[in-house]
Amino acid sequence: MVGLIGRLWNLQYKSIVKEASGKTLAVTKFFCVLHVTNTYLCTFALAYGPSMIPTFNLTGDMFLAERLSIKFGKVSPGDIVLLRSPESPRKVMVKRLLGLESHSVTYVVDPMNSDRCDTIVVPKGHVWVEGDNIYNSRDSRQFGPVPYSLIEGKVFCKIWPPKEFGSLMKSGMKDPDL
Amino acid sequence: MVGLVGRLWNLQYKSIVKEASGKTLAVAKFFCVLHVTNTYLCTFALAYGPSMVPTFNLTGDMYLAERLSIKFGKVGPGDVVLLRSPESPRKVMVKRLLGLESHSITYVVDPMKSDRCDTIVVPKGHVWVEGDNIYNSRDSRQFGPVPYGLLEGKVFCKVTTFLSLAHLMLNFDAVNCTSSLSQPKNKRRQSLYNFNCYIWIAEQSRKAQSSWIKIEMDERQCKTYIWPPKEFGSLMKSGMKDPDL
């Protein structure tokens, strides 16, 4: 009698474990696919802060960034890029790419105080990024040209807030030939 | 009659397609797991070149590099790290980490020409890397402190595999050496060649008369330059460089 109950309980237990492990495996596989897509194709990003006004809001916009063009080197001046901060390795920031390697970039050194401009040639393997709101942006004017490998994605579409949904045109605020 | 044959053929076709897609999915899942392990846990690296002699061989060694300590920030001066080159984004190089942010580094600017030293404070978010063979290494002394985000892994173990031997054969072109990979009859003589090669390179570097080209030409004389398996083992932190220098 006890043996029978024991065997019944074992059977129930085995089926529960089997079902649980099957579902867990399915969930894991789904997250794997999601992760691979996130890392190699396309990712979400939420950007907040004053450095990209008026393209992005102060309080935060959500947008899609794709990773393929970075891997194939198909970025050009005027693109908005996601990049890892050279000063704080855990932070990812959004800025506009203004110059690739061996481009000559002219920038306003400190627009709050003066109109003084400076020109620099971007070294090999580096890029020059600036925020659209040069009055309040910490970018290459402060920390210099950024190695190309720190670029993580190219922003191509804004998805939140809904009334600003749409692709981000290249012809933004900055003249890329400046 | 034709309908029956058609249905039989469909059945066969469906089962083949189903089996093929099932097998492909299994292979894809396996590669996914391999890829995730490679990206987040531990990866192989093949390093060749003169910049880390004598820690690493000239003609190439295979290493295991783990990625977790980079993500948790647990690297320190003296570690051998894998990093993406700031000058060529597609190249990954292996150097020794000498300083973290806000460390003060004293380095010899150009050891081939003079003994002049220079001191620099590593800026925030950056690290200072140098090769063990400062006479022939392109590192932070040339391209400055490297952002921490470029670090890709920490090398902790050297391995011998058949794969590395195969790479050794391919890399003989890189060092312009025309020797064949035949096993020497006397293993002791083989390791003596390696030893002599190391000593020769170190001596030449010290005399500051060698160049990369000269090393290549004399490599041809080391006919059976095979990387010795007895160097298997973990790389101790106390390498050639004094991290406090």
Quickly state the pLDDT bin for A35 (edges 50, 70, 90). Answer: confident
The whole-chain average pLDDT of chain B stands at: 70
Least confident of A81-85, B159-163, B220-224: B220-224
Q: Kindly report the CATH class assigned to B42-237.
A: mainly beta
Residue B147: which of A32, A36, A147 has the nearest Cβ?
A147
Quickly state the pLDDT bin for B227 (edges 50, 70, 90). Answer: very low
Helix (H, G, I), strand (E, B) or coil at B206: helix
Q: Which residue has the tokens 């040339």?
A: B142
Number of domains chain A contains: 1
Retrieve residue B38's tokens: 């490679």
In a domain, A14, yes or no: no
In a domain, A112, yes or no: yes
Cα–Cα distance, B105 to B78 (Å, whole number): 13
**Domain boundaries defined on chain B:** 42-237
Looking at residue A8, its pLDDT comes to 72
Percent helix, strand, coil in chain A, to 5, is: 35, 30, 35
ipTM metric? 0.72
Cα–Cα distance, A34 to B41 (Å, whole number): 19
CATH of the domain at A159: 2.10.109.10
Residues B188-217: what's their mean pLDDT? Answer: 40
Least confident of A143-152, B45-54, B81-90, B173-182: B173-182
Looking at residue B160, its pLDDT comes to 57
Cα–Cα distance, B80 to B102 (Å, whole number): 19
Using the predicted structure, report yes or no on whether residue B57 has a pLDDT greater than 80.
no
Do A89 and B147 meet the contact criterion of CB atoms below 8 Å apart? yes
Q: What is the pLDDT of residues B141-178, one digit of tens each?
A: 999 999 999 999 998 887 754 344 444 443 433 333 33
Helices (H), B42-156: 68-71, 140-143
Give B116 or B5, the one with higher predicted confidence. B116
Looking at residue B215, its pLDDT comes to 36
Q: Do A32 and B36 touch (CB under 8 A)?
A: yes
Percent with pLDDT over 70 in chain B: 64
Percent with pLDDT over 90 in chain B: 20
Q: Is B35 part of the contact surface with chain A (CB cutoff 8 Å)?
A: yes
Q: Is B67 part of the contact surface with chain A (CB cutoff 8 Å)?
A: no
Q: What is the pTM of this model?
A: 0.66
Give chain B positions within 8 Å (CB) of A29: 29
Quickly state the pLDDT bin for B42 (edges 50, 70, 90). Answer: confident
**Structural domain of residue A148, as residue ranges?**
42-167
Retrieve residue B233's tokens: 């083992």
Do A169 and A77 meet the contact criterion of CB atoms below 8 Å apart? no
- The secondary structure element, H or E, covering residue B81 is strand B80-84
Cα–Cα distance, A127 to B113 (Å, whole number): 32
Burial of B65 per CB tally in 10 Å (0-12, 13-18, 19+)? buried
